[in-house]
Amino acid sequence: MMQIQFSDKMVTYDTFINDIAARVAAMMSEDRQDKRLYVSQAEAFRMYGRATVERWRRQGKIEPRKTLGKLQYSTSELRELARIKQDYL
C-alpha cells in the first residue's frame, strides 16, 4: 500500500485522494448554490474584506466591470482568489 509522508503525518494514497475529492466536491456544490455571476463592490468588501479586494485589484488579480456607474466583481474570480493561499510579505 502506497503512503504519502507529510511533515506532521503519513497517510495512505487512497485516503489522500478521497480527502481531496471530498473537498473539491464541497467547493463545487458551494459554487453551484450561488447563482450570482457578479456582486457589487460593497458586497465583495463585506464578503472578503475591503483591504483584501483592493489588494487583489492593485496586484491585477481581479478587474471589476463597470455597469451603470457601479463596480461589480465576478463571484467565481473572488472565490478562486479566496481559496489561494496568499503571500503577504
What is the reported pLDDT for 13? 87
| Pairwise CA distance, residues 80 & 47, whole Å | 13
Instruction: Judge whether residue 27 has pLDDT over 90.
Output: no
Q: What is the mean pLDDT of residues 14-33?
A: 81
Q: What is the mean pLDDT of residues 32-56?
A: 91
Q: What is the mean pLDDT of residues 39-50?
A: 95
Question: Structure pTM?
Answer: 0.65
What is the reported pLDDT for 85? 73
Instruction: Tell me the percentage of the chain whose pLDDT exceeds 90.
Output: 45
CB 75 within 8 A of CB 40: no
| Pairwise CA distance, residues 22 & 41, whole Å | 31
